[in-house]
């Protein structure tokens, strides 16, 4: 299985959760909205003074608080911190800030949507999916160990904690089936349904653990055409010539640490987590790309499963030296491969969060994926960076030594043969 974290969106110039809040604050600078956002940021950054623990000030935390202020629901922990700091109650805070919070939430969702949809919009306008092919085509062919016309079981299940739809767009562009759990209910509304996460006839199953922002009222084409065809729906604002309405209806977001009771109980949230855990148990090759594994829920599930795999002998003792792990990994029955910018930092962070099994068992591939603009601006450097990343997968026998894959990878514009 593959887990695409928020960092896997960086190559498409989509921010991480923390960077999103910084960019949004800059976008609303010197407005009335900025005052409320700064007020929220200050409270969350002082969380340890009120509850004895830090809470990250990121996009999911901000969305959770703004939704609490504008919706009659049970509040989440970040909002409780905001109230404690202001020595007030939620009723009073809503009365004082509801109007501004609604405006902030509307602008923020538009901001998120535009950022996440922009790479697809650009590809659709130019009919050029070159970069999607560079990133997904070559990478998934290597992870698959064979041409993608025959997708192997160990990469059929895709889990995501990001919100971009670049992967879905690439899959559709290459005429590969995809099951994203979306179906149209009896009332004609799009919903996420875990029973729809099936993969009985090839293709990919894509499970959005942190939710989705593309619940368009249109049945998904499972194969053929382009995924971006669904963006012609009139609910989508002027990015595609539609009307700016009902944008918030496209969002189903489950912030793992900040989620409220209703979002957890009245959603596929727990069902998706159950599928995540059972997939981790049943598959023997796990690839984590662009995730720092900071999410408490996901890291706890990973820790439990890896601890059990160690107990069963599927993971033998690996060296504390991360370079040695790469050479040792091919002997393990269960392989946990993490693509990371700084492997030593990740190892220490996991230990500090008491994820001892994870810290001792993961095999690192250190990467710093280049961005879309690098194709045009620094093509030669870009090719070299891509070669180094993908050749590291081959060199350490983590995936395959099948050199015949090179011809297949060439189709995506990446040449690894020299």
- Greatest Cα pair distance, the chain, in angstroms, is 66
More confident of the two residues 132 and 157: 157
User: Measured between alpha carbons, how far is residue 237 from residues 118, 223, 231, 247, 250 in Å?
Assistant: 13, 26, 10, 8, 12
Element of type H or E holding 160: strand 157-160
Q: What is the DSSP letter of 75?
A: P
Span 117-139, pLDDT tens digits: 888 877 777 667 777 888 888 88
Phi/psi region, residue 147 (left: phi>0; alpha: psi -120 to 50; beta: rest), is beta
Q: What is the DSSP letter of 52?
A: S
* pLDDT at residue 348 tops 90: yes
Q: Which of 186-200, 251-265, 332-346, 398-412 has the lowest mean pLDDT?
A: 251-265
More confident of the two residues 223 and 353: 353
pLDDT-derived band of residue 160, with 50, 70 and 90 as boundaries? very high
| pLDDT score for 152 | 87
- Residue among 362, 359, 379 at smallest CA distance from 370: 379
∠ Cα 6 12 15 (to 5°): 45
Span 35-77, pLDDT tens digits: 999 999 999 999 999 888 888 888 888 988 998 999 888 888 8
Q: How far apart are CA 359 and CA 349, in angstroms?
A: 8
Answer yes or no: are the C-beta atoms of 130 and 375 closer than 8 Å: yes
Answer yes or no: are the C-beta atoms of 176 and 151 closer than 8 Å: yes
Span 261-273, pLDDT tens digits: 555 555 677 888 8
**36: exposed, middle or buried (C-beta count within 10 Å: 0-12, 13-18, 19+)?**
buried
């Amino acid at each position: 299985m593959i887990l695409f974290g928020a960092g896997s969106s960086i190559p498409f110039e989509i921010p991480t959760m923390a960077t999103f809040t910084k960019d949004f604050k800059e976008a609303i600078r010197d407005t009335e909205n900025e005052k409320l956002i700064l007020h929220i940021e200050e409270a969350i950054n002082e969380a340890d003074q009120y509850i004895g623990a830090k809470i990250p000030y990121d996009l999911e935390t901000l969305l959770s608080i703004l939704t609490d202020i504008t919706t009659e629901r049970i509040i989440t922990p970040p909002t409780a911190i905001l109230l404690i700091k202001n020595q007030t109650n939620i009723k009073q805070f809503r009365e004082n800030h509801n109007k501004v919070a609604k405006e902030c939430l509307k602008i923020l969702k538009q901001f998120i949507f535009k950022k996440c949809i922009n790479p697809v919009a650009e590809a659709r306008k130019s009919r050029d999916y070159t970069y999607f092919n560079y990133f997904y085509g070559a990478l998934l062919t290597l992870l698959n160990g064979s041409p993608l016309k025959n997708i192997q079981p160990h990469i059929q299940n895709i889990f995501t904690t990001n919100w971009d739809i670049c992967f879905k767009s690439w899959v559709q562009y290459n005429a590969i089936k995809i099951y994203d759990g979306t179906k149209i209910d009896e009332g004609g509304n799009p919903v996420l349904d875990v029973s729809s996460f099936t993969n009985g006839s090839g293709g990919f199953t894509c499970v959005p653990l942190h939710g989705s922002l593309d619940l368009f009222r249109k049945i998904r084409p499972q194969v053929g055409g382009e995924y971006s065809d669904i963006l012609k729906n009139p609910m989508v604002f002027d990015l595609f010539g539609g009307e700016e309405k009902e944008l918030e209806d496209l969002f189903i977001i489950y912030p793992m640490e900040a989620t409220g009771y209703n979002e957890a109980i009245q959603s596929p949230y727990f069902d998706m987590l159950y599928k995540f855990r059972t997939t981790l148990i049943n598959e023997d090759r796990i690839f984590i790309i662009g995730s720092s594994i900071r999410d408490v829920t996901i890291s706890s599930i990973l820790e439990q499963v890896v601890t059990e795999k160690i107990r069963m002998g599927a993971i033998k003792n690996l060296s504390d030296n991360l370079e040695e792990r790469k050479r040792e990994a091919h002997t393990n029955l269960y392989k946990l491969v993490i693509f990371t910018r700084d492997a030593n930092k990740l190892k220490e962070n996991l230990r500090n969060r008491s994820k001892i099994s994870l810290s001792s068992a993961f095999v690192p591939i250190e990467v710093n994926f280049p961005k879309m603009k690098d194709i045009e601006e620094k093509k030669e450097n870009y090719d070299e960076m891509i070669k180094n990343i993908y050749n590291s997968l081959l060199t350490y026998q983590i995936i395959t030594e099948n050199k015949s894959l090179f011809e297949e990878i060439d189709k995506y514009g990446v040449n690894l043969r020299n």
